[in-house]
Amino acid sequence: MATINLKINGQTQLVDADPDTPLLWVLREELQLVGTKYGCGIGSCGACTVHVDGVAMRSCQLTVEQIGEQKVTTIEGLSEHGNHPVQQAWLAHDVPQCGYCQAGQIMSASALLNDSPNPSDAEIDAAMNGNVCRCGTYTRIKAAIKSVNAVG
């Protein structure tokens, strides 16, 4: 056990954890940031996606030791009032069904749009490929991402 200094959503958080604890566990169990979901635990579903220094990463596959000084953003920190352009597009397109995968979907989409404000279909497919949705919201997700492009 060690005291780990993490930068989460613009704040410094001190947590007591083994250095090899997955970030996802610390987010959910220690910091109660439960918007980030546990799906598979093996890097295959995308439900646990967060931004690490702006890059979409699977928090179940990163230890807190690996995070170091990098800045982590979760769905709770994406926007102050839930009004990030991607979140607004998700509402406008009525994307969520059960909702379980959607925080991860939004974190992947927002990282993509930060890097590529006007992504091609192929770029969208490549960026979103690892985010699984059991409810099959893929068509609406793509439409929502494209609508952010149209606005921005």
Q: How far is CA 129 from the centre of its chain?
A: 14
Give residues with Cβ within 8 angstroms of 58, minimum separation 6.
43, 46, 48, 49, 130
Number of residues that bind ligand FES (CB under 6 A): 23
Give residues with Cβ within 8 angstroms of 83, minimum separation 6.
none
CB of 87 or CB of 137, closer to ligand FES: 137
Q: Tell me which residues in 84-113 interact with ligand FES (CB under 6 A).
A: 96-102
Give residues with Cβ within 8 angstroms of 34, minimum separation 6.
27, 28
Q: Tell me which residues in 17-76 interact with ligand FES (CB under 6 A).
A: 38-41, 43-48, 58, 60
CB of 17 or CB of 128, closer to ligand FES: 128
Residue ranges in contact with ligand FES by CB under 6 A: 38-41, 43-48, 58, 60, 96-102, 133-135, 137
